[in-house]
């Protein structure tokens, strides 16, 4: 596998190295040893699959609040998505910045999303399936997110933002939770969490 760091340190594009013959191809999509060698999470406790039936569907931008932050490895196994991550690490020089790329069944790329990153995507085709490897289990009381249309993020979504859940329309603007994110970076300052809904 090839690991290509994005413009947000710690977040990686993971490319497979397929072996092809007349039958087709074979490739590893995950190797604990290679992930560990790159300093990445190598233990995943949950896998999720989402199906979005309509082109233009937007899911996100989601994250889990400390101390339940989750690493994700996201791969589109059917169709194509525009995948977006936002750095929410208060100590990071790229706090509030985003990175985006196309993940598709055709390019077979995955995106490694570190803890304290918000994640979301927009489908570029109908009937899209996305597979997630999760480093932590889902905790409803820690589920949180920021608005995909927050102008402070400057995300250029490829299609109009039309098909979004009510839950995702009601997420926070980054400016409204920035102070809280900085406080929560110090475990001694954690406050009670308030649920905002389900996962992607």
CATH assignment of the domain containing 172:
2.60.120.10
pLDDT at 34: 96
Question: Whole-angstrom Cα distance, residue 35 to residue 165?
Answer: 34
Confirm whether 131 is a catalytic residue.
Answer: no
The reply to whether 71 falls in a domain is: yes
Is the pLDDT confidence value at 192 over 60?
A: no
Is the pLDDT confidence value at 190 over 60?
A: no
Residue range 54-112, pLDDT digits in tens: 999 999 999 999 889 999 999 999 999 999 999 999 999 999 999 999 999 999 999 99
Q: Work out the average pLDDT over 148-158.
A: 96
Structural domain range at position 58: 2-183
Beta-carbon contacts of residue 11 (< 8 Å; ≥ 6 apart) = 5, 85, 87, 99, 111, 112, 113, 114, 117
The reply to whether 172 falls in a domain is: yes
Number of domains in the chain: 1
The reply to whether 199 falls in a domain is: no
Confirm whether 112 is a catalytic residue.
Answer: no
Mean pLDDT of the chain: 92
Catalytic residue among 98, 132, 138, 194: 132
The reply to whether 197 falls in a domain is: no
Q: Which of 105-109, 148-152, 194-198 has the lowest mean pLDDT?
A: 194-198
pTM: 0.89
The reply to whether 198 falls in a domain is: no
The reply to whether 177 falls in a domain is: yes
pLDDT at 30: 95
The reply to whether 175 falls in a domain is: yes
Catalytic residue among 38, 62, 98, 172: 62
Is the pLDDT confidence value at 119 over 90?
A: yes
Tokens of 164: 């979004």
Question: Whole-angstrom Cα distance, residue 101 to residue 80?
Answer: 10
């Amino acid at each position: 596998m090839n690991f290509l760091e994005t413009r947000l340190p710690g977040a990686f594009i993971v490319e497979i190295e397929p072996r092809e013959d007349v039958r087709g191809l074979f490739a590893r999509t995950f190797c604990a040893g290679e992930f560990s060698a790159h300093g990445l999470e190598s233990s995943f406790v949950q896998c999720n699959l989402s199906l979005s039936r309509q082109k233009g569907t937007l899911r996100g931008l989601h994250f889990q609040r400390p101390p339940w932050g989750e690493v994700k490895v996201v791969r589109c196994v059917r169709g194509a998505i525009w995948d977006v991550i936002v750095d929410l690490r208060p100590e990071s020089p790229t706090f509030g910045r985003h990175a985006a790329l196309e993940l598709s069944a055709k390019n077979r790329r995955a995106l490694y999303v570190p803890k304290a990153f918000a994640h979301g995507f927009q489908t570029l085709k109908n009937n899209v399936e996305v597979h997630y490897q999760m480093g932590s289990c889902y905790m409803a009381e820690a589920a949180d997110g920021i608005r995909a249309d927050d102008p402070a993020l400057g995300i250029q979504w490829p299609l109009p933002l039309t098909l979004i859940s009510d839950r995702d329309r009601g997420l926070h603007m980054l400016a409204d939770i920035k102070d809280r994110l900085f406080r929560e970076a110090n475990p001694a300052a954690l406050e009670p969490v308030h649920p905002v809904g389900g996962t992607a």
